[in-house]
Amino acid sequence: MHLEFILLGFSDLPHLQGFLFGIFLIIYMTILIGNGLIIVITKVAPTLQTPMYFFLGNFSFLEICYTSVTLPRMLTHLWTQNRAISLIACAIQLSLFLILGVTESFLLAVMAYDRYVAICKPLYYPLIMNHKVCVQLVIVSWMTGIPIQLIQTYKVISLPFCFNELNHVFCDVPPLLKLACGNTSVQEFSVYAVAVLFGLVPFLIIVRFYFKIITTILKLPLVTGRQKAFSTCSSHLIVVSLFYGSGIITYFTPKSSQSGIEKVLSLFYTIVTPMFNPMIYKNHEQNI
User: pLDDT tens digits for 182-232?
Assistant: 777 887 788 778 878 888 889 999 999 999 988 888 887 766 667 766 766
Cα distances (angstroms) measured from residue 221 to each of 213, 216, 225, 262, 284: 15, 11, 8, 45, 22
Q: For 30-54, how does the pLDDT look when each residue is reduced to its tens digit (9 = 90+)?
A: 999 999 999 999 889 888 888 988 9
Least confident interval from 67-76, 132-141, 263-272: 263-272
Of residues 264 and 123, more confidence is placed in: 123
0.75 cut: is pTM over it? yes
Of residues 167 and 257, more confidence is placed in: 167
Tell me the CATH number at 211.
Answer: 1.20.1070.10
> Does the structure show a pLDDT above 60 at 151?
yes
Which pLDDT band holds residue 138 (cuts at 50, 70, 90)?
very high
pLDDT of amino acid 286: 53
Give the span between the Cα atoms of 245 and 284, in whole angstroms: 23
Structural domain boundaries enclosing 63: 4-286
User: How many whole angstroms from its chain centre is CA 239?
Assistant: 9
> Does the structure show a pLDDT above 60 at 258?
no
Mean pLDDT value across residues 81-108: 91
Give the span between the Cα atoms of 138 and 193, in whole angstroms: 24
Answer left, alpha or beta for residue 282, where phi above 0 means left and psi between -120 and 50 means alpha. Answer: alpha
> Does the structure show a pLDDT above 70 at 233?
yes
Tally of domains in the chain = 1
| Residue closest to 152 by CA, chosen among 178, 174, 126 | 174
Mean pLDDT value across residues 12-23: 86
